[in-house]
Amino acid sequence: MKVHIIGGGNLGVAIAKGLSKFSQGNQITVTRRNTASILYLEQLGVTVSSDNTHQIQEADIIILTIKPYQVDTVLAEILPVISNKVIASAVSGLSIENLQNKIGDGNSAVRIMPNIASQFGASATCIAFHEKNKEKAQNTVALFKDLGTAPIIDEKLMDAATVLAASGTAFALRYIRASMQAGIEIGFDWQTALAISAQTVKGAAEMIMEEQIHPEQLIDRVTTPQGCTIAGLNEMEMHGFSSSLIRGIKTSLKQIKG
Ligand SMILES: NC(=O)C1=CN([C@@H]2O[C@H](COP(=O)(O)OP(=O)(O)OC[C@H]3O[C@@H](n4cnc5c(N)ncnc54)[C@H](OP(=O)(O)O)[C@@H]3O)[C@@H](O)[C@H]2O)C=CC1
Ligand SMILES: O=C(O)[C@@H]1CCC=N1
């Protein structure tokens, strides 16, 4: 497929790198105004351009990874030269209806919410579209399946998906950082503490995905009666571990909804 990514920043580059490594048979173009910092992508076979319309007529999918306030400017540039295109938008807060109104009936709006682990084929990319665009959205679904998981969700959950799956990457990294900091206090150098913390999180996530059971069932396998794990867990909960995470996620959601 010919994939045209507009907005070669944090997310756009992560998607381009992920596609170049984990998805076969695609031709990828990434655009941004100042291309100097992403020209290295050309070594991965990605075309880099400062022209948003560069060969856009040939694209099978146009992916928008720009900030919400940049959308109208970009659409004003590309709409005069495209027709019958799928535009997959990762722009947070931009509804399918709003995007569809902007791009007109001649093009099809799809909403996607990837995260930056797209770069490693490990994103949880939620996808939503209107029923009438179901057929046309299938290429987008296939593409993001190559970059991890790609659940199709009801659009009313898209803001929640943004917080859980996209912001969630930062939340998970904060857990790893805190674990590393504790690791230093109890005797490790930071590199060793970080490597142990990251691998432990990866292992826990792999168990959950493989066994598909409730986390508490796995936690029960770790907590020896009168042991150190339950003592630590209870102390963490006393200081609001779960509730602070839940409150943070709900606050992020309020921020998106405005
Ligand atoms: N970062 C993340 O983890 C996630 C982000 N999102 C959403 O994705 C979008 C992008 O986020 P993020 O990647 O972090 O933002 P960045 O600011 O890193 O990337 C946006 C990019 O768009 C480019 N850009 C701006 N104006 C134009 C234009 N007129 N034409 C072409 N390119 C342009 C900018 O480059 P230049 O100035 O050189 O043009 C910049 O590189 C946002 O809507 C965000 O909410 C969604 C999920 C996860
Ligand atoms: O922080 C943000 O607003 C964007 C959306 C999700 C990840 N980054």
The amino acid present at 118, given as its one-letter code, is: S
Q: What is the pLDDT of residue 19?
A: 98
Atom of ligand 2 nearest to the CA of 115: 7
Q: What is the pLDDT of residue 61?
A: 98
- What is the distance in A from the centroid of ligand 2 to the CA of 64? 14
Q: What is the pLDDT of residue 258?
A: 85
Q: What is the pLDDT of residue 257?
A: 87
Q: Tell me if ipTM is over 0.95.
A: yes
Q: Determine the Cα–Cα distance for residues 155 and 111; give it in Å rounded to an integer.
A: 8
Q: Where does ligand 2 bind, in terms of residues with CB under 6 Å?
A: 92, 162, 166-167
If one residue of 162, 174, 256 were mutated to test the ligand 2 pocket, choosing by the most ligand atoms within 8 A of its CB, it would be 162
- What is the distance in A from the centroid of ligand 1 to the CA of 232? 40
- What is the distance in A from the centroid of ligand 2 to the CA of 189? 32
Q: Determine the Cα–Cα distance for residues 168 and 182; give it in Å rounded to an integer.
A: 21
- What is the distance in A from the centroid of ligand 1 to the CA of 23? 22
- What is the distance in A from the centroid of ligand 1 to the CA of 39? 16
Q: What is the pLDDT of residue 76?
A: 98
Per-residue pLDDT of the chain (258 residues; tens, 9 = 90+): 999 999 999 999 999 999 999 999 999 999 999 999 999 999 999 999 999 999 999 999 999 999 999 999 999 999 999 999 999 999 999 999 999 999 999 999 999 999 999 999 999 999 999 999 999 999 999 999 999 999 999 999 999 999 999 999 999 999 999 999 999 999 999 999 999 999 999 999 999 999 999 999 999 999 999 999 999 999 999 999 999 999 999 999 999 988
CA atoms within 13 Å, Cβ hemisphere of 195: 4
Q: What is the pLDDT of residue 46?
A: 98
Q: Which residues contact 149 (CB under 8 A, 6 or more apart)?
A: 123, 124, 125
Atom of ligand 2 nearest to the CA of 170: 7
Atom of ligand 1 nearest to the CA of 92: 45
Q: Where does ligand 1 bind, in terms of residues with CB under 6 Å?
A: 6-12, 31-34, 52, 65-68, 70, 73-74, 90-92, 113-116, 166
Instruction: Please give the full DSSP string across the chain, using - where no structure is assigned.
Output: -EEEEE--SHHHHHHHHHHHHHSTT-EEEEE-S--GGGGGGGGGT-EEES-TTTTGGG-SEEEE-S-GGGHHHHHHHHGGG--S-EEEE--TT--HHHHHHHH-TTSEEEEEE--GGGGGT-EE-EEEE-GGGHHHHHHHHHHHHTTEE--B--GGGHHHHIIIIIIHHHHHHHHHHHHHHHHHHTT--HHHHHHHHHHHHHHHHHHHHHH---HHHHHHHH--TTSHHHHHHHHHHHTTHHHHHHHHHHHHHHHHH-
